[in-house]
């Protein structure tokens, strides 16, 4: 017993030294000017370093899960160090605003840079990056004219897709958000029929968008619903990927999109600086914030990266954050009712 | 008194979460299909329970009672599936074995396109994978139990004419029962709180229900109320464990034994034993490690510049420091509690000790929120009585919150391992020591600790590995600038950068080999002639004669 104990002690002493005694949060580095809770991680660090170069303001951030960071914010209350809260879902943004966690911001920079469709009418949050959830297919097995150009998602209930569909699981926020969007569009009853139609077509459920794309590439599935940026990323790594993208419902309501964004935390003691960061992310930092992840900028003055630009323009289904937020629970319930895994 | 205090401290976050759920108004939203979720949970627990018992118990018997080629390496390799974080395993496994994975592709290439294997992403798939990654709990406990068995009982059985097999079923197995039950209880609780693996395999357990309500319906209060249901499962598991241990008390005569004398397996038997161990390691360890290695190498070739993150040393140091502190803390508490229970624990002490293990049956994220809530209340109370600023940002401003939450969650494995070892110590030994006038402290140091040493070692390993790979708590409670290896993996894996996540994931596995290696070095040292203190030798004499 004695020797392992001594060894453990030595390891502890070593690690304490290595971590420079900042370990217990005592005497650690000076906190940054702006502290960010973010459910998004993609290269945020580099963006924040550039922000520091531009403005001289330093940024610290913690990455975590939307719902969990929200509970942390609530529990910390007035003591919370957070100045900016960044989430990856319009429903979450709406939910955080509902719980009064955001302070309204009156910023001409933000209203100029971001179309009204992608920000809160009361100025509590703004969207920063857009992602589309659309149809991808294996061109060996599918002719794109097979898709219903008006109601592409609903069209996948057609018996001709029997045994050819692959989709994400019901615990995934992407699935829930898509179904919430469909409920907003068609109402609950019709959406339930659509989901049941997918199941009747023996949709194969997978637990990850990358798995979906690999299944398409290998021919194990003909059609899948994926986020456009996963496709871009796979394409970036494997240029010979045998998968094509189809913009859903272009003759109808448009392709389902969701937004990542953020707002200034109500209890922040550096709200002016946080607002400045938000403005920077929507303008000068926009390209960096969205580009590395192959997302679409919300700011129409900024171009998407070359790979994504090659996918061409598409018509997005309008985002209704309140609907996404309020209907998400109904989407979860509907998926369970339909027996969608 | 001490035990009750620990119990209160440890259960505070769980109580805070549950109270918060019930106090907050608003109606309870119950996820549709809850009865099915309950059934699925039962099925999964049953399957994984049987699976881990067979694999873990069987392997422990194989490596402890036999000698065969590679045994000395396999004996500790067999612990390592425990080091594979669940949030890695699901993807790695499905990307390897699902329809588009290399295995099925290969099979189709050989056997033709029409070839179909049973669906991998399913309840049976989850049972197989979870059994092969969780069996080390049972394996470690069973092995400690087998090593602790005094040869006297075994020799007596053999000398009375019982064959090896009969002795195994009638003597060895019943004696190992408390440890098997303790390991099984840990497996069950781990299964109960798992979210990552079941989500990947599309298995809708009650924990998935909790997450759906919390994150899908934005209804945290209902989610916490539902987690009471998860707790009820845990109560059933622990009650079951007590039942399994039975009324019978299996105390050992003659102190710590040399254990069983291993039998050599040669020829095809030896080869079969080695193959069995390697097969058990295949899915839970080799497949993920090989897959991760492949990705790591690919990434290194593709982008050598960004391959190694310079902050890596910091992350690793953070992981090891937290894990070390928590492991030592949990084991010390577990020792003192088992000791207190033994020295005259009444019903309340026993109940309190049992209460401390429930933290393990609550999903990590819920424990994390519980810690936040408990401190938020303490903060308000302090401010109300006039302390300016209250507790301030005590929890999330330092690693104290993480350490506390880990204690809440990982006291269970420590206590289960230590207590199972205590169960085999004769009460008459404790009594002799007491009647000889030894102080409680001295009894702990000179009697209980040496006798429970295998359990203590196992506890240290379990908690260290669990703490190194733990994710939800550290993700939720960490202060700014504090990153561990598991957070690093998750930042990449959570956004599907699997190639980039491969190296840090392998680092977690590597870090976990350290405590495992120490454990087995310690066990080997213990195999040598006992260096027991004179007091034990003396008492072993006394109790050996006056036994039950």
pLDDT for res A187:
96
Whether residue A130 contacts residue A259, with contact meaning beta carbons closer than 8 Å, is answered with yes
What is the distance between the alpha carbons of residues A84 and A48, in angstroms, rounded to a whole number? 13
Q: Count the neighbouring beta carbons within 10 Å of the beta carbon of residue B1.
A: 9
In CATH terms, B2-21+36-248+259-546 corresponds, of 3.40.1160.10, 2.60.40.1180, 3.40.1010.10, 1.10.3720.10, to 1.10.3720.10
Select the residue of B208, B369, B399 nearest A71 (Cβ to Cβ).
Answer: B369
On the question of pLDDT at B424 being above 80, the answer is no
On the question of pLDDT at B537 being above 80, the answer is no
pLDDT for res A19:
47
Contact B201 A76 (CB under 8 A): no
Say if A32-130+259-305 and A131-256+315-338 have the same CATH topology. Answer: yes
Q: A-chain residues within 8 Å CB-CB of B491?
A: 41, 63
Fold of A32-130+259-305: D-Maltodextrin-Binding Protein; domain 2 (3.40.190)
Name which residue leads in pLDDT, A31 or A333. Answer: A333
Q: B-chain residues within 8 Å CB-CB of A71?
A: 220, 369, 372, 476
Digit-coded pLDDT (tens) for A87-96? 999 999 999 9
Helix (H) or strand (E) holding A129: strand A126-137
- Name the residue ranges covered by the structural domains of chain A: 32-130+259-305, 131-256+315-338
Name which residue leads in pLDDT, A133 or A14. Answer: A133
The alpha carbon of residue A108 is apart from the nearest alpha carbon of chain B, in Å, by 31
Q: Average model confidence (pLDDT) for chain B?
A: 83
Given pLDDT bands bounded at 50, 70 and 90, which one contains residue B530?
Answer: very low
Mean pLDDT of B327-353: 86
Is the ipTM of this structure higher than 0.95?
Answer: no
Between the ranges A12-21, B219-228, B425-434, B456-465, where is the mean pLDDT highest? B456-465
DSSP state of A114: S
Q: B-chain residues within 8 Å CB-CB of A176?
A: 216
Listed residue (B17, B83, B152, B191) closest to B543, CA to CA? B152
Mean pLDDT of B209-226: 86
Mean pLDDT of A299-308: 93
On the question of pLDDT at B405 being above 70, the answer is yes
On the question of pLDDT at B542 being above 60, the answer is no
The answer to which of A63-67, A234-238, B123-127, B433-437 has the lowest mean pLDDT is B433-437
Mean pLDDT of B527-545: 41
Given pLDDT bands bounded at 50, 70 and 90, which one contains residue B533?
Answer: very low
On the question of pLDDT at B515 being above 70, the answer is yes
Question: What is the value of pTM for the model shown?
Answer: 0.88
Neighbouring-strand partners of residue B435: none
On the question of pLDDT at A5 being above 60, the answer is no
Mean pLDDT of A119-133: 96
Name which residue leads in pLDDT, A272 or B148. Answer: A272
Above pLDDT 70, what percent of chain B? 89
Q: A-chain residues within 8 Å CB-CB of B390?
A: 79
Best of A16, A43, A79, A234 to substitute, by most chain B Cβ atoms within 10 angstroms, is A79
First to last CA, chain A: 50
Select the residue of B100, B314, B476 nearest A68 (Cβ to Cβ).
Answer: B476
Given pLDDT bands bounded at 50, 70 and 90, which one contains residue B528?
Answer: very low
What is the distance between the alpha carbons of residues A86 and A265, in angstroms, rounded to a whole number? 10
Digit-coded pLDDT (tens) for B369-378? 888 888 888 8
Q: A-chain residues within 8 Å CB-CB of B213?
A: 332
Q: Average model confidence (pLDDT) for chain A?
A: 90
Listed residue (B366, B261, B254, B309) closest to B507, CA to CA? B309
On the question of pLDDT at B532 being above 50, the answer is no
pLDDT for res B259:
56
Residue owning tokens 């104290």: B400
Listed residue (A90, A109, A125) closest to A263, CA to CA? A125
pLDDT for res A20:
43
On the question of pLDDT at A63 being above 80, the answer is yes
Contact A329 B217 (CB under 8 A): yes
The alpha carbon of residue A278 is apart from the nearest alpha carbon of chain B, in Å, by 20
CA dihedral (A222, B91, A245, A262) in degrees, to 10, reads 150
pLDDT for res B258:
54
CATH class of A131-256+315-338: alpha beta
Name which residue leads in pLDDT, B396 or B368. Answer: B368
Among all residues of chain B, which has the CA nearest to that of A7?
B518
Q: How many helices (H) and strands (E) does chain A have?
A: 14, 10
Whether residue B162 contacts residue B399, with contact meaning beta carbons closer than 8 Å, is answered with no
Digit-coded pLDDT (tens) for B481-495? 899 999 988 888 888
Q: A-chain residues within 8 Å CB-CB of B217?
A: 328-329, 332-333
pLDDT for res A22:
46
Contact A71 B321 (CB under 8 A): no
pLDDT for res B148:
72
Buried b (16+ CB within 10 A) or exposed e, A18-30: bbeebbbbeebee
Digit-coded pLDDT (tens) for A190-222? 999 999 999 999 999 999 999 999 999 999 999
Above pLDDT 90, what percent of chain B? 26
Digit-coded pLDDT (tens) for B269-315? 999 999 999 998 987 889 899 999 999 998 888 877 766 777 888 89
- Three-state secondary structure readout of A286-321: HHHHHHCCCCEECCCCCCCCHHHHCCCCCCECCCCH
What is the distance between the alpha carbons of residues B429 and B311, in angstroms, rounded to a whole number? 52
Contact A75 B373 (CB under 8 A): yes
Given pLDDT bands bounded at 50, 70 and 90, which one contains residue B536?
Answer: very low
- Three-state secondary structure readout of B271-307: HHHHHHHHHHHHHHHHHHHHHHHHHHHHHHHHCHHHH
Backbone torsion region of residue A107, taken as left when φ is above 0, otherwise alpha when ψ lies between -120 and 50, otherwise beta: beta
Given pLDDT bands bounded at 50, 70 and 90, which one contains residue B450?
Answer: confident
The alpha carbon of residue B157 is apart from the nearest alpha carbon of chain A, in Å, by 32
On the question of pLDDT at B539 being above 50, the answer is no
pLDDT for res B339:
86
Maximum CA extent, chain B: 78
pLDDT for res B525:
61
CB proximity list for B333: less than 8 A, separation 6 or greater: B6, B356, B407, B411, B414, B415
Given pLDDT bands bounded at 50, 70 and 90, which one contains residue B345?
Answer: low
């Amino acid at each position: 017993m004695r020797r392992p104990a001594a060894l453990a002690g030595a390891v502890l002493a070593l690690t304490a030294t290595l971590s420079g005694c900042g370990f217990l949060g005592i005497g650690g580095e000076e906190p940054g000017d702006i502290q960010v809770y973010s459910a998004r991680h993609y290269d945020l660090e580099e963006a924040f370093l550039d922000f520091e170069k531009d403005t001289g303001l330093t940024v610290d951030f913690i990455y975590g899960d939307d719902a969990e960071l929200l509970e942390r914010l609530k529990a910390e209350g007035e003591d919370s160090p957070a100045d900016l809260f960044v989430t990856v879902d319009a429903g979450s943004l709406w939910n955080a605003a509902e719980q009064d966690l955001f302070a309204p911001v009156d910023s001409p920079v933000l209203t100029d840079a971001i179309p009204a469709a992608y920000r809160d009418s009361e100025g509590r949050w703004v969207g920063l990056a857009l992602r589309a959830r659309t149809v991808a297919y294996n061109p060996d097995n599918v002719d794109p004219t097979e898709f219903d150009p008006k109601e592409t998602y609903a069209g996948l209930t057609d018996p001709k897709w029997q045994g050819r569909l692959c989709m994400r699981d019901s615990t995934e926020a992407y699935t829930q958000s898509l179904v919430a969007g469909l409920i907003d569009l068609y109402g609950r009853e019709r959406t339930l029929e659509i989901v049941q139609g997918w199941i009747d077509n023996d949709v194969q459920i997978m637990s990850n968008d990358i798995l979906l794309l690999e299944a398409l590439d290998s021919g194990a599935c003909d059609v899948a619903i994926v986020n456009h940026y996963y496709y871009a990323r796979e394409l970036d790594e494997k240029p010979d990927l045998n998968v094509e993208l189809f913009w859903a419902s272009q003759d109808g309501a448009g392709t389902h999109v969701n937004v990542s964004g953020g707002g200034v935390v109500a209890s922040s003691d550096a709200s002016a600086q946080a607002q400045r960061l938000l403005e920077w992310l929507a303008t000068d930092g926009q390209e960096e914030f969205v580009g590395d992840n192959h997302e679409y900028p919300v700011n129409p003055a900024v171009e998407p990266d070359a790979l994504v630009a090659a996918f061409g323009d598409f018509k997005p289904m309008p985002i209704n954050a309140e609907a996404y937020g309020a209907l998400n629970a109904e989407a979860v319930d509907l998926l369970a009712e339909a027996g969608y895994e | 008194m001490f035990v009750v205090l620990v119990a209160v401290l440890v259960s505070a976050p769980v109580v805070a979460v549950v109270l918060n759920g019930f106090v907050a108004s608003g109606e309870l939203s119950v996820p549709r299909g809850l009865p099915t979720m309950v059934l699925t949970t039962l099925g999964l627990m049953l399957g994984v329970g049987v699976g881990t018992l067979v694999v873990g118990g069987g392997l422990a018997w194989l490596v402890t009672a036999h000698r065969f080629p590679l045994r000395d390496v396999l004996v500790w390799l067999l612990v390592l599936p425990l080091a594979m974080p669940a949030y890695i395993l699901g993807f790695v496994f499905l990307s390897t074995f699902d329809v588009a994975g290399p295995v099925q592709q290969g099979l189709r290439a050989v056997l033709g396109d029409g070839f179909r294997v049973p669906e991998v992403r399913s309840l049976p798939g989850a049972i197989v994978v979870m059994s092969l990654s969780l069996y080390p709990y049972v394996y470690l406990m069973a092995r400690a139990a087998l090593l602790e068995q005094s040869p006297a009982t075994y020799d007596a059985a053999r000398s009375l004419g019982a064959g090896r097999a009969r002795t195994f079923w009638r003597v060895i197995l019943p004696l190992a029962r408390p440890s098997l039950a303790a390991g099984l209880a840990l497996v069950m609780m781990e299964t109960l709180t798992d979210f990552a693996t079941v989500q990947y395999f599309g298995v809708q357990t009650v924990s998935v229900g909790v997450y759906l309500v919390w994150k899908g319906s934005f209804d945290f209060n209902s989610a916490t109320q539902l987690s009471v249901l998860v707790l009820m499962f845990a109560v059933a598991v622990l009650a079951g464990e007590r039942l399994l241990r039975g009324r019978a008390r299996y105390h050992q005569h003659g102190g710590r034994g040399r254990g069983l004398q291993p039998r050599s397996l040669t020829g095809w038997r030896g080869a079969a034993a080695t193959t069995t161990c390697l097969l058990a390691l295949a899915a839970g360890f080799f497949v993920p490690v090989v897959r991760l290695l492949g990705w790591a190498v690919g990434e290194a070739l593709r982008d050598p510049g960004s391959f190694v993150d310079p902050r890596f040393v910091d992350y690793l140091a953070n992981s090891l420091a937290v894990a070390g502190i928590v492991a030592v803390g949990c084991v010390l508490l577990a020792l003192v509690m088992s000791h207190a229970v033994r020295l005259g624990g009444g019903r309340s002490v026993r109940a309190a000790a049992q209460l401390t293990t429930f933290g393990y049956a609550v999903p990590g994220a819920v424990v994390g929120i519980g810690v936040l809530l408990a401190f938020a209340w303490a903060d308000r109370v302090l401010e109300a009585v006039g302390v300016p600023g209250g507790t301030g940002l005590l929890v999330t401003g330092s690693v104290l919150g993480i350490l506390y939450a880990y204690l809440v969650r990982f006291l269970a494995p420590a206590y289960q391992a230590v207590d199972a070892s205590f169960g085999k110590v004769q009460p008459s030994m404790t009594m002799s020591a007491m009647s000889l006038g030894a102080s409680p402290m001295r009894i702990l140091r000179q009697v209980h600790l040496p006798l429970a040493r295998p359990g203590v070692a196992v506890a240290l390993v379990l908690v260290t590995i669990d703490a190194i790979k733990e994710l939800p708590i550290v993700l939720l409670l960490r202060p700014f600038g504090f990153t561990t290896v598991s957070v690093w993996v998750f930042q990449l894996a959570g956004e599907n950068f699997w190639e980039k996540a491969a190296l840090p994931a392998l680092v977690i596995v590597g870090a976990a080999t350290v405590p495992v290696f120490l454990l087995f070095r310690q066990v080997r040292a213990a195999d040598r002639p006992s260096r027991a203190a004179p007091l034990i030798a003396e008492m072993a004499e006394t109790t050996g004669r006056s036994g039950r």
